[in-house]
């Protein structure tokens, strides 16, 4: 009988501890995001690339994804002139970004919607724009690669990307 009471006591203690940790968990802390560049590239790229750039070298390598193929060959001459490497104070900020896999129409794109610190990581939420099937859209018939680069406050926490599903009926899924 005493053993059964001890087991019940410890079980109740563990359940109470788990429940209180869930109740008292710290809510996500939203981070400010500042758009660096968003648009379409005509480079053929697959799969999608999720970017975290904390150093100038990482930012340069990420920016090159927009005008080079998987082997590093320049596919869009003049891109660097029209879109020079953005100037970002990497002592205060870091860059998060997404370069989508290439799509076969110009109605695609990507948008980073928020960044927050949740527990021990930074969560970057994004929406990908897809071709709608419920209406007729006039889309250019060209291969495009959507991208979005945003600056957020510098931090050493790991970064995870999560697709934002808050607008289920929108073309921005």
- The domains of the chain are located at 28-163
**What are 53's two structure tokens?**
């750039």
Choose between 81 and 154: higher pLDDT. Answer: 154
Name residues whose C-beta falls within 8 Å of residue 43's C-beta, 6 or more positions apart in sequence. Answer: 65, 66, 67, 68, 69, 75, 76, 102, 145
137 pLDDT higher than 80: no
- Specify the pTM: 0.75
């Amino acid at each position: 009988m005493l053993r059964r009471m001890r087991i019940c006591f410890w079980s109740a203690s563990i359940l109470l501890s788990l429940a209180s940790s869930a109740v008292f968990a710290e809510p996500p802390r939203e981070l400010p995001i500042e758009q660096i560049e968003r648009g379409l590239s005509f480079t053929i790229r697959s799969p999608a690339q999720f970017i975290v750039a904390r150093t100038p070298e990482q930012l340069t390598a990420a920016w090159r994804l927009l005008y080079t193929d998987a082997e590093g060959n320049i596919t869009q001459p003049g891109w660097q002139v029209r879109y020079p490497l953005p100037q970002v104070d990497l002592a205060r900020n870091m860059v998060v970004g997404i370069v989508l896999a290439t799509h076969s129409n110009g109605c695609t794109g990507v948008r980073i919607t928020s960044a927050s610190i949740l527990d021990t990581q930074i969560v970057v939420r994004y929406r990908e724009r897809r071709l709608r099937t419920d209406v007729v859209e006039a889309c250019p018939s060209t291969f495009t690669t959507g991208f979005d680069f945003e600056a957020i406050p510098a931090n050493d926490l790991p970064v995870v990307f999560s697709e934002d599903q808050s607008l289920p009926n929108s073309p921005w899924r």
